[in-house]
Copies of this chain bind each other. A is one copy, B any other.
């Protein structure tokens, strides 16, 4: 049996990567979403084991020491991380796993698991990204600037990814990810066992 595929999706905030991932999962019931662990308190409606694994700071730091994360970060005093075991177990079972993580996280995963499929979501244009962030209505002029500047910085990391998708239409963007997944299944580097069968006869 061949290994499952690790699909890593990231991109600046405001590019709609969350919507794309939800739609990808809705259309492909066979793809497993990786669930992050965090030390922050659950918000209203968030369920342990579905939205996040809510764990204590002590447990989280213990897992860091035991190298049980594919990647982790401390954001404003709260830890967030991707537990290795869930992901690697699914891949070994031949199941595909989706990771929706930020760019720093993706680059850490790439070091530990270079066989992942690294996909960067781009906004249709930087103007459109500005509109989208503005439309949320929660931004002051100052924080809008900060967000746009960080988006510019983040976009320069696209060259670390293998694929980039411009999200001008969610359905099309999701189809492109599906094409990428099917194409990756045909990569010679993933067909080792299958190809051996031809050579052995």
Which A residues fall within an 8 A CB radius of B?
119-120, 122, 125-127, 152, 155-156, 158-159, 161-166, 176, 179-180, 182-184, 186-188, 191, 194-195, 197-199, 201
Contact = CB atoms under 8 A, between A and B. Distances in A.
A195 B194 CA distance: 36
A155 B196 CA distance: 10
A178 to B, nearest CB: 8
Nearest to A183: B183
Interface SS, A side: helix
Given A152-B201, A179-B179, 7 more contacts: A122-B195, A156-B199, A162-B188, A163-B187, A166-B194, A179-B183, A179-B186
A158 B190 CA distance: 12
A151 to B, nearest CB: 9
A90 B156 CA distance: 31
23 contacts: A119-B186, A122-B195, A125-B197, A125-B198, A125-B201, A126-B198, A126-B201, A127-B201, A152-B199, A162-B187, A163-B186, A164-B188, A165-B186, A166-B194, A176-B182, A176-B183, A176-B186, A179-B182, A179-B183, A179-B186, A180-B183, A182-B183, A183-B183
